[in-house]
Amino acid sequence: MHGIDSSSQNLDLARKKFSLELNCADFEDYDSRSIAYDAISFWDVIEHFPDPHSVLKKACRMLKPDGFV
């Protein structure tokens, strides 16, 4: 599993509570060219992006064939 969050506090919580290693980054700036994903989820954040349409388009480009957002 791979993930990103723009909040270092959320990353610390994920590490402590779930033993997850996530990257601290903004989704819009995240360089994902080397990875294709089976699924991408946004948990209660899509409404906070200045341009949600472009975020969803980027997420779709990051998917493997038959992947899901």
Segments of the chain scoring below 70 in pLDDT: 1
Q: Left if phi > 0, otherwise alpha if psi is -120 to 50, otherwise beta: which for 59?
A: alpha
pLDDT of residue 4: 85
CA dist list (Å): 58 to 6, 19, 44, 65: 17, 27, 18, 14
pTM of the model: 0.78
